[in-house]
């Protein structure tokens, strides 16, 4: 039911760059090889992207568990070591104090023995004087090293025990120095011993800690190994839905079969599959629209092309025929006018197809548009094409942000449609008020069953089959209206003709003034 002038086709876009042969490289996908041409970053952040997701999960799990096991083992070892050292010190001090209580302050000989020392081969006991003289107790050889703290205990300046770890002849000893309850006189001298030093080997403790450390290392290594195996199992089982989804998407890309994917559960993978299904639905709808547009366009192009070819054949035959068969000038002129009209119809159709093929949204950077000015320009253009029709315009100021060119094209299509259906001497009334543009004609009107379909592509009512037009003009009006967040509808005018109503959001004031 509509017609519109043709427009030059936009420049053809540059062809995409050729893709290399073979499957596209993946960079860090599930088991897919990384692109060897991708360079590593100087700080080394890119290496992990060359690994598969499963291996990364396994590696991270192993590192996390290994670090936890190592810290736990080290903590256990340190706690046991400190506890053993504390227990040994307490026992050593208690034993030294018990031994010191035996001495009653009498003078003793250098080799005065304690019976239990004969059985304790890993223990040494000496009495220490203020001057540093040591009196060996039991069958022992060699003195014990001491320092200023031990001398203070012997002099009675310190009442607490002093502990020290020393190495004697390659053996480690723990020494506890405690004050004697009563100073012990040394026979043959005027000195008195005021402290008792009790030393015990730590070899058994070191051997136990060594075994404990070995056990911790073995347990830690076993834990890391088990963590790696568990991480591998978790990665394989946990990423199995991802692998299935990846295989399904690759199958769709290879076969172009847009059947929806199977969705299981309600986790993140299910949400991802649902999002893929929504994308596939939109892609399938776009494909259907594209096929329908191509099919409808090929059908619409056949009629003018066939008529154009027939007329050209007649002209060619007339040029090559004898003088008796030459076409009359009137007939020849009619054929040439018919060819010119068909070429214009083809241009219009191609321009409409190019406009409908644009599937882009209104750009974010657009200009304020005065709908009154757009309406005036459209009326001026249509008046030249339909001089037998009278146009009346009643417009109130209305501003919106959009594309002036596409809005002018849509309004021109509405006016062209009204002029085409109006009789000679008829009147077309265009009224713009509050952003609502109504175009009324005095034609036969649109049957009510056809009104919901007049804005579909290539729709033609029974009455319009023999009239010129591509059947795309009103489709372009609806597309422009939707791109500007507006609507368009068809109804009946007061004169009985057709009324087209285009509603666009905006303001009576200029956007800059309204914003201020």
In sequence order, the 6+-apart residues with CB closer than 8 A to the CB of 432 are: 371, 372, 375, 393, 394, 395, 396, 398
Same domain, residue pair 348 and 368: no
pLDDT value at 108 more than 60: no
Domain membership flag for residue 59:
no
In this structure, is residue 130 part of a structural domain? yes
Q: Which of the 8 DSSP states describes residue 108?
A: B
- Give me the CATH number covering residue 118: 3.30.450
Kindly state whether residues 438 and 346 are assigned to the same domain: no
| pLDDT at position 57 | 78
Per-residue pLDDT band for 36 (boundaries 50, 70, 90) equals: very low
Residue range 86-106: average pLDDT? 83
Q: In terms of domains, do 412 and 487 share one? A: yes
What single-letter DSSP state applies at residue 47?
G
104 vs 385 pLDDT, higher one: 385
CB distance 396 to 379 below 8 Å: no
**Looking at the structure, do residues 293 and 173 belong to the same domain, yes or no?**
no
pLDDT of residue 112: 47
Q: Is residue 120 over pLDDT 80? A: no
User: Are residues 274 and 407 located together in one domain of the fold?
Assistant: no
Lowest mean pLDDT among 24-28, 96-100, 220-224: 24-28
| Residue 456 domain-assigned (yes or no) | yes
8 Å CB contact between 27 and 38? yes
Distances (CA, A) of 440 to 85, 492, 498: 104, 8, 6
Sheet holding 134-137, edge to edge: 134-137, 123-129, 192-201, 171-185, 162-168
pLDDT for the residue 104: 67
- Stated as kind and residue range, the H or E segment containing 427 is strand 427-433
Look at residue 34 and tell me if it is in a domain: no
Most confident listed range (50-54, 98-102, 322-326, 437-441): 437-441
Three-state secondary-structure class, residue 43 = coil
Residues 510 and 366 in one domain: yes
Find the range with the poorest average confidence among 24-28, 312-316, 399-403.
24-28
Q: pLDDT tens across 42-63, in order?
A: 444 454 556 677 777 788 888 8
Residues 372 and 461 in one domain: yes
Structure tokens at 51: 């690994």
Scan for tokens 């035959």, then name that residue. 317
Single residue among 187, 203, 219 that ends a domain in this structure: 203
- Domain finish residue from 305, 324, 355: 355
State how many domains the chain has: 3
Is 242 contained in some domain?
no
pLDDT (mean) for 196-204? 88
Percent of the chain with pLDDT over 90: 15
394 lies in the same domain as 509? yes
User: Does 289 fall in a domain?
Assistant: yes
* Residue 405 is assigned to a structural domain of this protein: yes
Determine contact, residues 394/357, Cβ cutoff 8 Å. no
CATH number at residue 280: 1.10.287
pLDDT single digits (tens) 445-487: 888 888 888 888 666 555 554 455 456 778 888 988 998 999 9
CA 100 to chain centre: 76
pLDDT band at 2 (very low <50, low <70, confident <90, very high): very low
**24 pLDDT above the threshold of 70:** no
Domain containing residue 486: CATH number: 3.30.565.10
Q: How confident is the model at residue 12 (pLDDT cuts 50, 70, 90)?
A: very low
Q: Which of 6, 390, 472 is nearest to 464 (CA)?
A: 472
Distance (Å) of CA 135 to CA 106, 195, 197, 427: 14, 10, 10, 137
Cα→Cα distances 465→300, 442, 448, Å: 11, 19, 18
Is residue 503 domain-resident? yes
Enclosing domain of residue 368:
362-515
Q: Give the range among 162-176, 212-226, 352-366, 475-489 with minimum mean pLDDT.
A: 352-366
Q: How confident is the model at residue 95 (pLDDT cuts 50, 70, 90)?
A: confident
Q: What is the mean pLDDT of the chain?
A: 77
Mean pLDDT, residues 375-390 taken together: 88
Closest CA to 198 of 248, 252, 160, 144: 144
Q: Which residue has the higher pLDDT, 189 or 166?
A: 166
Q: Are residues 369 and 483 in the same domain?
A: yes
Q: Quick check: 448 and 411 in contact, CB under 8 A?
A: no
CA dihedral 414, 417, 422, 425 (to 10 degrees): 70
pLDDT at 490: 92
Average pLDDT over residues 207-229: 87
Contact 455, 474 (CB under 8 A): yes
Distance CA 386, CA 380 (A): 10
Are 298 and 374 in the same domain?
Answer: no
Lowest mean pLDDT among 193-202, 241-250, 368-377, 481-490: 241-250
Q: Give mean pLDDT, residues 17-42.
A: 44
| 206, 172 contact by CB (below 8 A) | yes
User: Other CB atoms closer than 10 Å to residue 368's CB: what's the count?
Assistant: 16
Degrees to nearest 5, angle at CA 482 with 480 and 488: 85
Chain center to CA of 469: 48
Which runs of E-coded beta strand occur in 110-151? 123-129, 134-137
- Which pLDDT band holds residue 325 (cuts at 50, 70, 90)? low
* Domain co-membership, 409 together with 351: no
| Domain limit, last residue, from 157, 187, 203 | 203
pTM for the model: 0.44
pLDDT given at position 392: 93
> In the structure encoding, which two tokens stand for residue 165, read together?
């770890």
Residue 6 has pLDDT above 50, yes or no: no
Contact 488, 503 (CB under 8 A): yes
- Residue 165 burial by Cβ neighbours in a 10 Å radius (0-12, 13-18, 19+): exposed
Whether 467 and 431 map to the same domain: the answer is yes
């Amino acid at each position: 039911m509509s017609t519109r002038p043709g427009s030059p086709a936009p420049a053809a876009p540059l062809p995409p760059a050729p893709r290399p042969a073979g499957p596209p490289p993946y960079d860090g996908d599930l088991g897919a090889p990384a692109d060897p041409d991708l360079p590593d970053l100087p700080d080394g952040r890119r290496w992990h992207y060359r690994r598969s997701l499963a291996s990364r999960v396994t590696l991270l799990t192993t590192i996390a568990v290994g670090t936890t096991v190592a810290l736990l083992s080290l903590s256990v070892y340190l706690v046991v070591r400190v506890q053993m050292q504390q227990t040994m010190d307490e026992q050593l001090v208690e034993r030294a104090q018990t031994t010191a209580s035996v001495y009653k302050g009498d003078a003793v000989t250098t080799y005065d023995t304690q019976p239990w020392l004969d059985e304790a081969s890993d223990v040494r006991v000496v009495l220490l004087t203020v001057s540093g003289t040591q009196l060996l107790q039991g069958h022992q050889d060699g003195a014990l090293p001491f320092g200023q703290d031990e001398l203070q205990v012997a002099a009675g300046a310190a009442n607490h025990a002093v502990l020290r770890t020393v190495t004697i002849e390659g053996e480690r000893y723990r020494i506890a120095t405690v004050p004697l309850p009563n100073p012990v006189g040394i026979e043959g001298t005027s000195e008195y011993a005021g402290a008792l030093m009790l030393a015990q080997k730590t070899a058994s403790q070191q051997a136990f800690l060594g075994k404990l450390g070995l056990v911790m290392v073995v347990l830690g290594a076993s834990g890391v190994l088990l963590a790696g195996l568990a991480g591998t199992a978790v990665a394989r089982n946990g990423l199995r839905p991802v692998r299935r989804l990846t295989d399904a998407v690759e199958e769709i890309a290879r076969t172009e079969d847009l059947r929806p994917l199977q969705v299981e559960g309600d986790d993140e993978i299910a949400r991802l599959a649902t999002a893929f299904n929504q994308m596939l639905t939109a892609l399938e709808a776009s494909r259907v629209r594209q096929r329908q547009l191509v099919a409808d366009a090929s059908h619409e192009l056949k009629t003018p092309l066939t008529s154009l070819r027939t007329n050209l054949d007649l002209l060619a035959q007339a040029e090559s025929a004898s003088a008796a068969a030459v076409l009359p000038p009137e007939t020849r002129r009619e054929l040439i006018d018919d060819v010119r009209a068909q070429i214009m119809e083809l241009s219009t159709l191609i321009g409409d197809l190019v406009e409908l093929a644009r599937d882009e949204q209104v750009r974010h950077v657009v200009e304020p548009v005065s709908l009154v000015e757009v309406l005036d320009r459209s009326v001026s253009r249509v008046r030249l094409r339909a001089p037998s029709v009278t146009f009346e315009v009643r417009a109130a100021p209305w501003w919106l942000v959009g594309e002036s060119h596409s809005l002018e094209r849509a309004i021109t299509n509405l006016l062209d449609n009204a002029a085409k259906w109006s009789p000679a001497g008829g009147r077309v009334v265009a009224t713009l008020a509050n952003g609502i543009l109504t175009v009324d004609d005095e034609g036969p009107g649109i049957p009510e069953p056809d009104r919901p379909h007049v804005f579909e592509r290539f729709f033609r009512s029974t009455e319009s089959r023999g009239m010129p037009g591509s059947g795309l003009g009103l489709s372009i009006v609806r597309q422009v209206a939707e791109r500007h967040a507006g609507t368009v509808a068809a109804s009946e005018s007061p004169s009985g003709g057709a009324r087209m109503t285009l509603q666009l959001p905006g303001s009576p004031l200029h956007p800059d003034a309204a914003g201020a």
